[in-house]
């Protein structure tokens, strides 16, 4: 499991002062990049080499609302992988409160679009 944190910025919030639902996708992406870095993999170096990690499916459930200035923790757990694909479970928490859960599927492709 990998864990990272971030602070909610005011511009992430909607008119109701909650984090907009689409912003959670950015938070999840941030956590995936941080997980790669922690494992010694630079996402941007992969891209320079023509290797892309492409999200093919995300199932996300919203359980609570994050607010401006909240400190969030994002946990990322690899649950399945093959030679050119993977599945991750991600959870966004405020303290011990689960705000969002997601299952993310991705594939690894080369510059020609093949595995």
Q: Whole-model pTM? A: 0.92
Is residue 14 part of the annotated active site? The answer reads yes
pLDDT of residue 32: 96
Cβ partners under 8 Å of residue 113, min gap 6:
none
By the 8 A CB rule, do 83 and 14 touch?
Answer: no
pLDDT of residue 62: 97
Residue tagged 């299952």 (tokens): 103
Q: With CA atoms as reference, report the closest residue to 58 among 36, 29, 34.
A: 29
pLDDT of residue 11: 95
User: Residues 90-111: what's their mean pLDDT?
Assistant: 96
Number of neighbouring beta carbons within 10 Å of residue 16: 9
Among 7, 12, 14, 110, the one annotated catalytic: 14
């Amino acid at each position: 499991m990998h864990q990272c944190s971030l602070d909610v910025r005011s511009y992430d919030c909607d008119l109701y002062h909650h984090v907009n639902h689409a912003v959670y996708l950015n938070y999840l992406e941030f956590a995936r990049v941080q997980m790669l870095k922690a494992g010694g993999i630079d996402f941007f170096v992969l891209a320079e080499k023509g290797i892309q990690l492409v999200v093919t499916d995300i199932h996300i459930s919203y359980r609570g609302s994050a607010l401006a200035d909240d400190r969030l923790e994002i946990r990322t757990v690899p649950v399945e992988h093959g030679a050119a694909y993977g599945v991750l479970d991600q959870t966004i928490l405020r303290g011990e409160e689960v705000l969002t859960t997601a299952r993310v599927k991705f594939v690894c492709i080369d510059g020609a679009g093949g595995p």
